[in-house]
Amino acid sequence: MCGIAGIHAYLAVAPAVDRAELARINDRMAARGPDGRGLWLAPDGRTGFGHQRLAIIDLSEAGAQPMHSACGQYTIAFNGEIYNYRELRDELTARGHVFRSGSDTEVLLQLYADCGAAMVRKLRGMFAFGLWDAKDRTLLLARDPLGIKPLYWSDDGWTVRFASQAKALLAGGAVARRPDSAGIVGFHLFGSVPEPFTVWRDVHCLPAGTTLTVDAIGPGKPQCYYDVADALGECALKTGFDADARLRLADAVRDTVRHHLVADVPVAVFLSAGVDSGALLGTMAGLVAGSLTAVTLAFAEFEGLALDEAPLAAEVARCYGARHIVRTVDRAEFEADLPAILDAMDQPTIDGVNTWFVAKAAREAGIKVALSGLGADECFGGYPSFVDVPRSVRWLRPPAWLPGVGALARRGLSAAIRAGLGLHPKAAGLLQYGGSWAGAYLLRRSVYMPWELDELLEPSLVAEGLRRLAPISHIAESLQTERRLSDFDRVAAMETSLYMRNQLLRDADWAGMSHGVEIRLPYVDPFFLAALPPGEVLGRVNAKDAVAEVPQPPLPNVIRFRAKTGFVTPVGRWLREGAGEPAHGPVDFSAAARGWARRVWQSGWTSPGLA
């Protein structure tokens, strides 16, 4: 797990790589790799890689990067972990490849020499890398199937630059800071910036599950090798799963946890009071010989309330004999850390504060790797959207067939809401948006709705951003497949491709890596998803309960039958207190999200001092 950077001057007339610029890009990511730093320039000075190392597999100098193949043809800068690298190494050894280290990075070099860019289909893990082929003079950029590890790139028509962080590219000094209306509008709609956009026009996010090849004439078109909707549609073709669905699910959970424990350092777990992380801890207990460590985040304001997850998490830790670390955060610490949080936040987001503090606790305890239950809700239908979105489409599809009725109703209701009708602003868009899958999802997940943005941003920026982003079409793209999708799979595809990828995974990366902590996600694994029963079957067998039974003994009943609350932070309350407003009363999640979005945006995004 690391930070990677690279500059490649692909046109013959382009200036050579500026080593100082490469160093600035690399140094901006120092927190991602406290265990080592490397810079490399090709002999002709036209290609250079940088690397910040967090040593997890092969802790020796043999695992340092940038890494070169024995023949000298290939050089790689790699961020991530390949959990099946030992199996791949054995296959390559059988075909005559010789290895000089015990690292997964060298496996990537040898695998590329063996099968080229198609190598990405064989990898089980999280990854982003740049790989230089000196003989063919091509640069390959690649990102893992579900987008756990980020990769940003920029092209000025002469030179391509890439890095693990968007802000790092800006820190180099050669990439313009022009604001991108599509990314800015996307943040205000969704609470995160939808890929491939960023909030800067000249910085692009390489989409998950794609590769990009740069040759002598420049970057080609990103090539998709994995699509969530296609994968779910293929899974739906499986038959005969009802009878043994729970057994297959249990086997899949044990298999993915086993793979995610591959490391040369101890692996801990981030433990909440929910089924997902508790099942990970219990499954780990059956696979690991030795002590386990669990880290739980608590908030001083929640002590003694149902929102306090620490007491139930402690019961789970006792059940499986784990050392339990409870880290309590209060408003004072949040305010003290807020400048660092906003600085580390690579793109604006309304989430990630909880991950920041639990990763901080892990670093304080000397933990470098921890498993997280992120992704389980997308697999097992744990969000209200799995019920609300299909219901909205069924009930509101007929009115949606009447042209203009939805927009007319929305304008009338918006005026009434502004006049004090007492409804949430989203209610105005029910008839206009609620009858389509993409529209209903936008209603469920949005922070603001499109018609509200003119009150927050320059109207001209809003108009351009909505045109370039086309939010309904953007959401609908996540459902494009030739295969049949059930209602369950439609929601799973949107939640996985949009909310999980653009917000949860990105937040886990910047917040964890800011503290030099690698967060591993056993539920976010295409090999795991491929082993699951179809989505419709998971709904029938109560997948969450089946997951709770995977450990031996099963999770305690107090966890299994606890009503789902979601992980809550008191950020909204802290912001109100900081503004001198009353902080008591019930938690209004929508209002808290809007308040935090305003606070994040007002911190100065796209301004010159941001990077």
The full set of domains in the chain, from first to last, is 2-226 (3.60.20.10), 238-374+500-601 (3.40.50.620), 387-477 (no CATH)
In this structure, which long-range contacts are made by residues 238-246, counting pairs with CB atoms below 8 Å and at least 24 apart in sequence? 238/533, 238/534, 241/533, 241/534, 241/537, 242/533, 242/537, 242/540, 242/541, 245/533, 245/537, 245/538, 245/540, 245/541, 245/546, 246/541, 246/546, 246/549
3-class SS of residue 340: helix
Dihedral sign from CA coordinates of 575, 580, 583, 587: negative
Structure tokens at 337: 């850390």
Cα distance between residue 374 and residue 423, in whole Å: 32
Is the separation of the CB atoms in 290 and 323 below 8 Å?
Answer: no
Can you give the pLDDT at residue 1? Answer: 66
**248: its two tokens:** 């297959």
Q: Are the CB atoms for 119 and 103 separated by under 8 Å?
A: no
Structure tokens, 266:
């101890």
SS3 content of the chain, % helix, strand, coil (to 5): 45, 15, 40
**Mean pLDDT in runs of 10 for the chain (611 residues)?**
94 96 98 95 98 93 94 96 97 92 95 96 98 97 98 97 98 96 97 97 98 97 97 85 84 97 96 96 94 95 87 96 96 94 95 96 97 96 95 82 63 65 74 91 95 94 97 97 93 98 97 97 97 86 91 92 70 71 61 87 70 48
Contact criterion met (CB below 8 Å) for 59 and 264: yes
Residue 503 contacts residue 195 (beta carbons within 8 Å): no
User: What CA–CA distance (Å, rounded) separates 423 from 581?
Assistant: 22
Inter-axis angle of helices 571-578 and 331-344, nearest 10: 100
Compute the distance between CA of residue 592 and CA of residue 574 in angstroms, rounded to an integer. Answer: 10
Cα of first residue to Cα of last residue in the chain, in angstroms, is: 22
Place of tokens 């293929």: 234
CA distance 42 to 496: 39
Does the pTM surpass 0.85? The reply is: yes
| Alpha-carbon span 493 to 378, nearest angstrom | 8
CB distance 411 to 438 below 8 Å: no
